[in-house]
Amino acid sequence: MSICYGPTVRESCFNLFKLHGSTNFWPDLMGVEIKGLDGEQPGKAAIVTQGKVVNRIEALRLCQTEDSINPIMSYYAKGKRVDFSPAEVAAQQGGWAQEIKEAQNIFIIGVFINYEVDTHIWENLSLCRGNIHYFGGKDDKTYFDKWKDNIKKENIYFHEGYFDLAVEFITKYR
């Protein structure tokens, strides 16, 4: 089964939203090479362009060879700034917020539950009507239980495990 990344949902794919970007999302510079940039970039973003999805091997190669561009990702901090292709991250977040309103089942895999800071994620999830299945490690259970108690939602389930277990579990719902 192929994996498709939001915001366009396709029936033939395993659809994923990566709300803060990903190491396998990179700015698509369409053949232009940028080298030698350093230091703080002015404005809201250093590069504004479309993104492209690369596989793990290509992402590792880019991380080792690029000295001026980075993956399309938010910084892990309050107010998360996105320096490279912020519209791509915004599209992921907007498409995701729309989809969860209508979803019957939502599957969250290996994401730290930071509901007090990442309100754009966790508030939207707390308002959805569908079932929520959360996949994480033993240490995540405490945070999961706090969030569940906070939102007072009954149809929310914790599963100990990560991506491989989640994919196997999710395919039963297709």
Give the confidence band of 1 by pLDDT, cuts at 50, 70, 90: low
**Least-confidence region, from 96-100, 133-137, 150-154:** 96-100
Task: Tell me the pTM.
Answer: 0.64
Does 98 or 142 have the greater pLDDT score? Answer: 142
Backbone angles phi, psi at 79, to 5 degrees: 80, 10
- Kindly report the number of other CB atoms within 10 A of residue 1's CB atom: 10
The alpha carbon torsion through 63, 27, 79, 140 (nearest 10 deg) reads -50
Strand 156-160, strand 131-136: pairing: parallel
Tell me, rounded to whole angstroms, the distance of Cα 15 from its chain centroid. 11
- Sequence-separated (6 or more) residues with CB below 8 Å from residue 111: 121, 136
143-151 average pLDDT score: 95
Q: Comparing 45-49, 90-94, 152-156, which segment has the lowest mean pLDDT?
A: 45-49
The 10 Å Cβ neighbour count of residue 41 is: 14
Tell me the mean pLDDT in the region 134-145. 93
Q: How far apart are CA 17 and CA 10, in angstroms?
A: 12
Strand partners, 131: 105
In this prediction, residue 120 carries a pLDDT of 79
